[in-house]
Amino acid sequence: MPQMTARLERRTKETSIRVGLKIPGEGQIQVDTGMGYADHMMTLMAFWAGMDLELTCQGDLEVDAHHSLEDIGLCLGQALQEAVGDKAGLARIGWARVPMDEALVEAVVDLSGRPYLVYSDQVVPAVLFGQEKDVWREFFKSLAFRAGMNIHINFAYGRNGHHLLEAAFKGVGLCLRQALRHEHATVFSTKGSLD
For 42-57, the pLDDT digits (tens) are: 999 999 999 999 999 9
Q: Residue 132 is which amino acid?
A: E
pLDDT (0 to 100) of residue 76:
98
Q: Where are the domains of the chain?
A: 4-179
pLDDT (0 to 100) of residue 174:
98
- Name the pTM for this structure: 0.95
Q: What is the pLDDT of residues 130-152, one digit of tens each?
A: 899 999 999 999 999 999 999 99
Q: How far is Cα 173 from Cα 21, in angstroms, rounded to an integer?
A: 14
DSSP character string of the chain: ---EEEEEEEE-SSEEEEEEEEES--S-EEEE-S-HHHHHHHHHHHHHHT-EEEEEEEE-TTT-SHHHHHHHHHHHHHHHHHHHTT-TTB--EEEEEEEETTEEEEEEEE-SS--EEEEE-TTS-SEETTEETHHHHHHHHHHHHHHT-EEEEEEEE-S-HHHHHHHHHHHHHHHHHHHTSB--SS-SSTTSS--
Q: What is the pLDDT of residues 7-48, one digit of tens each?
A: 999 999 999 999 999 999 999 999 999 999 999 999 999 999
Q: What is the pLDDT of residues 91-118, one digit of tens each?
A: 999 999 999 999 999 999 999 999 999 9
CB neighbourhood size of 190 (10 A): 5
Work out the percent of the chain whose per-residue pLDDT is above 90: 87
Q: How confident is the model at residue 164 (pLDDT cuts 50, 70, 90)?
A: very high
The residues, any chain, with a CB within 8 Å of residue 36's CB and separated by 6 or more, are: none
Superfamily of domain 4-179: Imidazole glycerol phosphate dehydratase; domain 1 (3.30.230.40)
50 close to 83: Cβ distance less than 8 angstroms = no
Backbone angles phi, psi at 43, to 5 degrees: -65, -45
Mean pLDDT of the chain: 95
Q: In this structure, what is the dihedral angle of CA atoms 76, 52, 102, 143, given to the nearest 10 degrees? A: 10
